[in-house]
Structure 1
Amino acid sequence: MEDKRNIPIIEWEHLDKRKFYVFGICMTMMIRVSVYPFTLIRTRLQVQKGKSLYNGTFDAFVKILRTEGAAGLYRGFLVNTFTLISGQCYVTTYELTRKYVSRYNNNNAVKSLVAGGSASLVAQSITVPIDVISQHLMMQRKGESMGRFKVRNQDGKRLLVFGQTKDIIVQIFKADGFRGFYRGYVASLLTYIPNSAVWWPFYHFYAEQLSSLTPKDCPHLLLQAISGPLAAATASTLTNPMDVVRARVQVEGKSSIILTFKQLIAEEGPWGLTKGLSARIISATPSTIVIVVGYETLKKLSLRPELVDSRHW
């Protein structure tokens, strides 16, 4: 009879919430610093027409570094760090939803699917305005802009970081009002809810398959570290077309998802839907390893004292 092992799952009720949130913020910040350049590159690749500026991920990295310096790879980063709030809301919603769904269905794939989608819905409601602002800052190149708005220099002097942010916020509000900060909200939901809903079940699926194929003494954390990037690559490939449309809606100020999709197909063909996919997978691979290893370790570190030695996690 086949000996099928299950990777133990630490549930929400097992955690010391104070430790969980403090460690979580530190972990999330480290991840964002490491992968942000590829987020910026992905967005620029998705927005550009054809290959007007960059021929791919590596070409974009070299050109940005050469013309804008290392700071160019971190345009909009400080504003983007405010999404740390949405990150904490995401994990809280995910864990609480898993706990709620378990009352009716204890299947891990079902719990992960529902919890992942619900968590993304909550997180995106907070994230979209921050994304809209940071993406317009990402589009600022040396002396020009790839987006609708360009940061204006005052008396020939370069604006400081938060001066640029204020300038972009004012321009968005003048052009579109408050609704401008939620431009692309539906497109974001159509991108990130499926991405999150798909990622968690695939993550647990790959972990279980690897567990059945590896020796008993293989560390669970190693299996989880491999499963995370596999799930991320799968989810990224499935949702990238909508991610391209989302980026264009938010940066170019378009109001129709369908018309944006049709225009993209007409101008660049079906391959246009794969734009930025390699940058997305490249950024997702290391970040997902860190997220998975960090998240699982974070949960172990946050275990309530009375549970630390009670069982093998």
Structure 2
Amino acid sequence: MQQKRNIQIIEWEDLDKRKFYSFGVFMTMSIRATVYPATLIRTRLQVQRGRSLYNGTLDALVKIVRNEGVRGLYRGFMVNTFTLISGQAYITTYELVRKYVSLYSEDNTLKSLVAGGSASLVAQSITVPIDVVSQQLMMQGQGGHLTRFRIHAHTQGKDRRAFGPTRSIMGQIFAADGVRGFYRGYVASLLTYIPNSAVWWPFYHFYAEQLSKLAPPDCPHLLLQAVAGPLAATTASTVTNPMDVVRARVQVEGRSSVVDTFKQLVSEEGFWGLTKGLSARILSSAPTAIVMVVGYETLKKLSLRPELVDSRHW
């Protein structure tokens, strides 16, 4: 028998799919534009040796804006927008796997864990090539000396509408490593994001349930979910950050071994090196989680089949 939940979850079969995908693209794009600067800062912090360039998240923000302008915070953003495809693949896989697992188990933690991990596997297979290129673009400017590939001055000044710098980076990656170069760090990405996603969803539902027990009966469920999201994001980010640091270095520096990269990082900077970029990651993931949760739950509410609208407490 299915356990009665305080917060009712809108499942895949409850949705009008046309509305769901139409609203979903807009939501995903808005979230990515909001958090991209923090993602760029996190990448530069993770790749730098020690504190050779920045002394922390705030210092990086100030220096980038001062030396590169606000546009410097959005290096590689246009390329990164192609991850909209992976975003839609992620939510589709998550919802479909939840539905499949529910045929065998009504345990919400199990459904969330399996669906979250599966969704991340599919999404990362699409995202990694885009990340490889966008991270190289992120490292241009102050961080340019930390990457193998550089955009030449004559390329930066022309053909911007045709993604001249992007084509330059892609050409260099292909020339150096072939097609495999676009999947550099794929294993590290899977080792980072599958656990991150698998941890995030169960903790999200767990925190939401615990908050619902503490909150007044008339407290809006959306408010509880908006608080549960960043709590889950902070938990997942802390658990998976060491692998995220390794992933960033593998992709930006062109390394081939996850294990060797991990060993070198620990030998050079100690285990504290595994926390590099954690504050920037939390600053990115926590607000992202609020926007994502509010947006996603609102998206599902707006996408409910008409006959179910009055049956869901909001």
What interval of TM-score do these two structures reach, taking the shorter chain for normalisation?
over 0.9
* Residue matched to 1:11: 11
For 1:222 and 1:155, the matched residues in 2 are separated by: 48
Report the residue type matching 1:280 in the other structure: R
Report the residue type matching 2:255 in the other structure: K
Bigger mean CA offset, 111-120 vs 300-309: 300-309
Contact 1:94 1:118 in 2 (8 A): yes
- TM-score normalised by structure 2 residue count: 0.96
Contact 1:5 1:212 in 2 (8 A): no
* Residue matched to 2:271: 270
Contact 1:183 1:250 in 2 (8 A): yes
Q: CA deviation at 1:309?
A: 2.1
For 1:34 and 1:156, the matched residues in 2 are separated by: 25
Q: What RMSD in Å do the two structures reach over aligned CA positions?
A: 1.4
Number of corresponding residues: 310
From the superposition, tell whether residues 146 and 158 of structure 1 become closer, same or farther in structure 2 (CA, over 3 Å).
farther
* Residue matched to 2:45: 45
For 1:144 and 1:187, the matched residues in 2 are separated by: 22
Bigger mean CA offset, 144-153 vs 69-78: 144-153
Q: CA deviation at 1:90?
A: 0.2
Q: Which structure 1 residue ranges, 4+ long, deviate > 3 Å from structure 2?
A: 142-145, 155-159, 310-313
Q: CA deviation at 1:144?
A: 4.1
Contact 1:5 1:211 in 2 (8 A): no
Give structure 2 stretches of 5+ with no counterpart: none
* Residue matched to 1:245: 246
Contact 2:250 2:256 in 1 (8 A): yes
Q: CA deviation at 1:257?
A: 0.4
Q: CA deviation at 1:152?
A: 1.4
Q: Identity of paired residues, percent?
A: 76
Contact 1:151 1:167 in 2 (8 A): yes
For 1:123 and 1:209, the matched residues in 2 are separated by: 30
Q: CA deviation at 1:310?
A: 3.7
Give structure 1 stretches of 5+ with no counterpart: none
* Residue matched to 1:195: 196
Bigger mean CA offset, 40-49 vs 301-310: 301-310
Report the residue type matching 2:201 in the other structure: W
For 1:10 and 1:156, the matched residues in 2 are separated by: 47
Render the CA deviation track for 1:52-104: whole Å, top value 9, x for unaligned: 00000000000000000001000000000000000000000000000000000
Contact 2:8 2:312 in 1 (8 A): no
For 2:192 and 2:144, the matched residues in 1 are separated by: 29
Q: CA deviation at 1:158?
A: 5.2
From the superposition, tell whether residues 14 and 5 of structure 1 become closer, same or farther in structure 2 (CA, over 3 Å).
closer
* Residue matched to 1:220: 221
* Residue matched to 2:304: 303
Q: CA deviation at 1:285?
A: 1.3
- TM-score normalised by structure 1 residue count: 0.96
Render the CA deviation track for 1:255-312: whole Å, top value 9, x for unaligned: 0000000000011000000000000000111111000001000000000112112443
From the superposition, tell whether residues 155 and 110 of structure 1 become closer, same or farther in structure 2 (CA, over 3 Å).
closer
Contact 1:229 1:289 in 2 (8 A): yes
Q: Does 1:95 align with 2:103?
A: no
Q: CA deviation at 1:145?
A: 3.7
* Residue matched to 1:57: 57
Report the residue type matching 2:196 in the other structure: N
Render the CA deviation track for 1:133-182: whole Å, top value 9, x for unaligned: 00000000159442110001328845626100000000000000000000
Report the residue type matching 1:110 in the other structure: L
Report the residue type matching 2:81 in the other structure: T
